[in-house]
Amino acid sequence: MNDTATPVKSAKLVPDFLIIGAAKSGTSTLYRYLDKHPQVCFPPDKEPCFFDVNAAWDKGWDWYANLWAERQEGQLLAEGSTNYTFYPHVPNAPELIHEHAPNCKLIYMMRHPVSRTYSHYAHRQTKELFPGKPFEHDVLEFAKIDPLILDCSDYYKQIQRYLALFPREQMLFCFIGEMIKDPRSFTQNVCQFIGIDDQIDLTAEGQIVDNKGSKHRDGKLRYYTTEPFRKNPVIRTIAYALPQPCRTFAYNLVKKTG
């Protein structure tokens, strides 16, 4: 734990569940589904990042509790800050969550790590670090500048920090492919996990698609992303060691973007 002072909890509101990550893995889509449920209350900003000591922790507990000012009686309180699985860049999120909301349920979305890294690379380049500037680094070179894009794809490292504090039954691990393939069953499973009515069809208005990174990928980006994977012998060796479904996924990804 760092030396940051603990916010005073003058209000007793704590989240009932959190979508903790991974970034660029369908967390916004899941949030938009669950936000339709009458038994769930999200803040206006899906990602307040309160348990990130580099972001909002110093704003205090009153600020955090007030995010749910529009809550209705009986609603579960939730938010979805992917910063909570940005270790080591965000160092103490699991500890802070466990200290202040030990009974909170945690949902962790994942996607193929290469695809996730690719998407995060594009987002960090165009939205956060170098907006409006041309792509000057391939994905591996960019990772030296911004190791976050690889650390967030190390699911084992991120998950182990939570499992060291929370019982396994308080965590739900999901894959974006399952949500895309069968959103109705997927959202039902999530509703069962967090303990709300799973007979409400959150997909009745149609499938939600968020963060379509392919809309923003030009030829130069595709080259910079896939070329190092094709040329790097270590990555090729790892790829051949993957199970067949993963190899097929990687092949189709390179075929589509190469």
pLDDT at residue 251 tops 50: no
pLDDT at residue 113 tops 60: yes
Q: What angle do CA 242, 244, 247 make, to 5 degrees?
A: 60
Write the DSSP symbol of residue 8.
P
* Mean pLDDT value across residues 111-126: 94
CA gap 100, 2 in Å, rounded: 15
**What does the pLDDT read at residue 207?**
85
**What does the pLDDT read at residue 177?**
96
Strand 40-41 to 17-21 pairing: unpaired
pTM for this predicted structure: 0.80
Look at residues 206, 24, 5, 203 and name the one whose alpha carbon lies nearest to residue 123.
Answer: 24
Q: What angle do CA 76, 157, 7 make, to 5 degrees?
A: 45
**What does the pLDDT read at residue 173?**
98
**What does the pLDDT read at residue 234?**
44
pLDDT at residue 211 tops 70: no
CA gap 64, 212 in Å, rounded: 30
**What does the pLDDT read at residue 7?**
58
pLDDT in tens, 173-198: 999 999 999 999 999 999 999 999 99
Give the sign of the dihedral formed by CA 83, CA 88, CA 91, CA 92: positive
pLDDT at residue 71 tops 90: yes
Question: With bands split at pLDDT 50, 70 and 90, how would you rate the model's confidence at 208?
Answer: confident
CA gap 49, 30 in Å, rounded: 17
pLDDT at residue 249 tops 90: no
* Mean pLDDT value across residues 67-83: 96
pLDDT at residue 221 tops 80: no
CA gap 118, 125 in Å, rounded: 11
26: which 2 tokens?
Answer: 């369908």
Look at residues 44, 53, 129, 43 and name the one whose alpha carbon lies nearest to residue 84.
Answer: 53
**What does the pLDDT read at residue 181?**
96
Question: With bands split at pLDDT 50, 70 and 90, how would you rate the model's confidence at 222?
Answer: very low
